[in-house]
Structure 1
Amino acid sequence: MKYLKFLILFTLLSFTADKPAYQVFTQKGKAVSYTHALKDIQQADIILFGELHNNPIAHWLELQITKDLYAVKKDQLVLGAEMFEADNQLIVNEYIAGKIAARHLESEAKLWDNYDTDYKPLIDFALANHLPFAATNIPRRYASLVARSGLSALDSLSAEARNWMAPLPVQVDLNLPGYKQMMGMGGGSAGHGSEMNASNIARAQAVKDATMAHFILQHWQPGKTFLHFNGSYHSDRFEGIVWYLNHYKPGLKIVTLSSVEQPEIDKLQDKSADLANFIIAIPSDMTKTY
């Protein structure tokens, strides 16, 4: 009896002392295991992993999903990311092919400040396993041009410059909730013209989403699985990149993931329901990569 009481006490202490770093939920808020989610994820044509850019758990899970998908898909897996701009594709290709050293990639590509900790492991996995890695984002100088002057400013660019973005004209639906919310947050100085500035910032977001969708499809073909890494706001609520993927090529099986932070992760907060097919809840006091 004493042993049984000790065993029960030890079991209870083990559970209360457990500190999970994340919990996966379905779109409707049901807690599921990583393994359960992976079974559905690996059936997709295109997977959009919506990350929190400075969250180490999101980045670690990106690498785990990459490894687990590769174990099943092998050379049918294609990787890509928002964090690499399309005009750096040649440099990325040369690195993945082993033609150039890491120092060349790091000095010549426009890498994010958290590249070493958060994205290098993904690129190096592609290098080690000979996987294509797509640089999907529009060059930031062109997104900035749209934010300042509107979509029509892209028409003045050279044909060479337009190779690094979605085909023009880019259709933008500013009534989509995500873009409406962005405009509601304001985009410029108060007073005359601020509404136009806010609209242009939403259009700049849209041209990023359209370009990422465009280059995802450029690198995908039937039978392949494309795993894409992007900020969660680019795919949350099945808008952004998802909207453009469905616009350019209806009928794809797209699975989205979103990362959220909340004080407790045993239950999904109501505001996060319906963000994605799978929502990864992470403790809000998780350490950050920057």
Structure 2
Amino acid sequence: MAMKPIASLLVALPLLLGCATPQQPRQEIPVTLYDAAVFSADSGKGVTISQLAHQLSEMDVIVVGEHHGHQASHLLQARLQAALYSRNPEQALALEPFDLDHQREVDQYLEGRLGEEELIEDAGAWRNYRASYRPLMEFARWHQLPVVAANAPDEVVRCVGRKGPGYLDGLPSSVRNRLPAQPFREAPGYRQKFLEVMGSNGHGSHTQANRQRLENSYQAQLLRDNTMADRVLVTLAQDPGHQVLVITGTFHSEERMGLVGVLEQRRPDLTIAVISPVILEQPGATPLPAEHAEKGDYLYFVQPLPEEYRDEQRGKAALMEQFSQARKLDCQ
């Protein structure tokens, strides 16, 4: 009998401590490669995942940009997915890593008709699927949520990058009709941003052939953006009231360009939140939200990844190997 007061105190202690300190303290500086420090771009103040989900609970579309393969991006996405679901279970997940022509395989996996290895093989999943996107897919499967294979078919994108926008005119109607009617919409300023990233000022610094290749690459980028935006709009039409969580590379969404710009052109009534990553210049650096406020409504700061190659020649050789594989594609 004498133990009861002590036992009661032990039970109550965590509750008392919980009143004294936040249960989910904000992380102002990411410590490990898995950490992300999230800030509101407007206020510059840090927010927890729980606070972020609360603030986004009424949004139609939430776009989380990522640096592909960065552990912090993918952990944040998984935590946010669950936090959003707890507030609004009417949720759909749209994934850039899956092409729309593999929607059938994604659905079969969600229905339990394919195993994970079969999904990876049959749907052409990216090589980092298990480490990066498995948690998102599994959460959707457990809760019977729709998953949208959002990207344009990879072969079509690569052939547009090689042949130009006119390549779409020769596609079979069964393929062309699955793509947006206007597949090359663009947001103001997006072209210039693309050229700057690609190392061109767009004013004659390349030969005509190189300029044409660069232009074709830009049109291929637009095809991806427009297809992902179209898939989001189709999802909203098919599942009214669903909140769509979009997972994509940050270039497709930051500064409200890319697919976000297309969504705003086609459906200006939608409420859309953009969450963008910022890689710190060096480990342990202090996040400076004000310097990156234009990137999104919310920013999450992450530690830099290690360099892939220190040997410049090995890096070039690896890049050339990728290009050689792309050249094997028949775009006739």
Decide whether aligned partners of structure 1 residues 271 and 165 sit closer, same or farther in structure 2, where only a CA change above 3 A counts: farther
Once the 2 structures are TM-superposed, how far is the Cα of residue 50 of structure 1 from its aligned partner?
A: 0.2
| Aligned partners of 2:256 and 2:274 also within 8 Å | yes
The answer to which structure, 1 or 2, has the higher relative contact order (CA under 8 A, 6+ apart) is 1
Structure 1 distance, partners of 2:275, 2:246, is 10
Decide whether aligned partners of structure 1 residues 171 and 22 sit closer, same or farther in structure 2, where only a CA change above 3 A counts: closer
| Aligned partners of 2:41 and 2:290 also within 8 Å | no
Structure 2 distance, partners of 1:56, 1:287, is 15
| Aligned partners of 1:138 and 1:164 also within 8 Å | no
Q: 2:183 aligns with which of 167, 170, 180?
A: 170
Partner of 1:3: none
Residue 284 (1) aligns with residue 304 (2): yes
| Aligned partners of 1:147 and 1:204 also within 8 Å | yes
Decide whether aligned partners of structure 1 residues 118 and 170 sit closer, same or farther in structure 2, where only a CA change above 3 A counts: same
Once the 2 structures are TM-superposed, how far is the Cα of residue 285 of structure 1 from its aligned partner?
A: 5.3
Q: 2:257 aligns with which of 239, 242, 247?
A: 239
| Aligned partners of 1:182 and 1:198 also within 8 Å | no
Aligned length: 270
Structure 1 distance, partners of 2:285, 2:270, is 31
Q: Deviations over 1:56-107 (max 9, x none)?
A: 1110011001111111222x11011100000000000011111222232122
Q: 1:181 aligns with which of 193, 201, 208?
A: 193
Q: Deviations over 1:221-269 (max 9, x none)?
A: 4421000100011000001111111122221000010111103453326
User: Aligned with 2:274: secondary structure?
Assistant: strand
Structure 2 distance, partners of 1:80, 1:224, is 12
Please say which of residues 85-94 and 215-224 is displaced more in the overlay: 215-224
Once the 2 structures are TM-superposed, how far is the Cα of residue 31 of structure 1 from its aligned partner?
A: 2.4
Structure 2 distance, partners of 1:158, 1:202, is 23
Structure 1 distance, partners of 2:114, 2:30, is 45
Residue 224 (1) aligns with residue 242 (2): yes
Decide whether aligned partners of structure 1 residues 170 and 106 sit closer, same or farther in structure 2, where only a CA change above 3 A counts: closer
Residue 116 (1) aligns with residue 136 (2): no
Decide whether aligned partners of structure 1 residues 285 and 170 sit closer, same or farther in structure 2, where only a CA change above 3 A counts: closer
Structure 1 distance, partners of 2:273, 2:119, is 30
What is the one-letter code of the residue matched to 1:280? Y
RMSD over equivalenced CA pairs, Å: 2.6
Structure 1 distance, partners of 2:30, 2:107, is 43
Structure 2 distance, partners of 1:62, 1:193, is 40
User: Aligned with 2:93: secondary structure?
Assistant: strand
Partner of 2:108: 94
Percent identity of paired positions between Structure 1 and Structure 2? 26
Structure 1 distance, partners of 2:306, 2:77, is 16
Please say which of residues 210-219 and 190-199 is displaced more in the overlay: 190-199
Once the 2 structures are TM-superposed, how far is the Cα of residue 199 of structure 1 from its aligned partner?
A: 1.3
Partner of 1:46: 61
User: Aligned with 1:44: secondary structure?
Assistant: coil
TM-score (norm 2): 0.75
User: Aligned with 2:294: secondary structure?
Assistant: coil
Once the 2 structures are TM-superposed, how far is the Cα of residue 148 of structure 1 from its aligned partner?
A: 1.2
Structure 1: any 5+ residue segments left out of the alignment? 1-14
Once the 2 structures are TM-superposed, how far is the Cα of residue 37 of structure 1 from its aligned partner?
A: 2.1
What is the one-letter code of the residue matched to 2:116? A
Decide whether aligned partners of structure 1 residues 172 and 29 sit closer, same or farther in structure 2, where only a CA change above 3 A counts: same
| Aligned partners of 1:45 and 1:226 also within 8 Å | yes
Decide whether aligned partners of structure 1 residues 118 and 18 sit closer, same or farther in structure 2, where only a CA change above 3 A counts: closer
Decide whether aligned partners of structure 1 residues 147 and 18 sit closer, same or farther in structure 2, where only a CA change above 3 A counts: closer
TM-score (norm 1): 0.85
Structure 1 distance, partners of 2:305, 2:210, is 36
Structure 2: any 5+ residue segments left out of the alignment? 1-26, 309-332
| Aligned partners of 2:62 and 2:245 also within 8 Å | yes
Structure 2 distance, partners of 1:87, 1:243, is 24
Once the 2 structures are TM-superposed, how far is the Cα of residue 178 of structure 1 from its aligned partner?
A: 3.0
Q: Deviations over 1:131-170 (max 9, x none)?
A: 1000000011111111112112101101111244222x42
User: Aligned with 1:257: secondary structure?
Assistant: strand
User: Aligned with 1:200: secondary structure?
Assistant: helix
Structure 2 distance, partners of 1:148, 1:73, is 43
Q: Say which one has the larger Rg.
A: 2
Please say which of residues 237-246 and 96-105 is displaced more in the overlay: 96-105
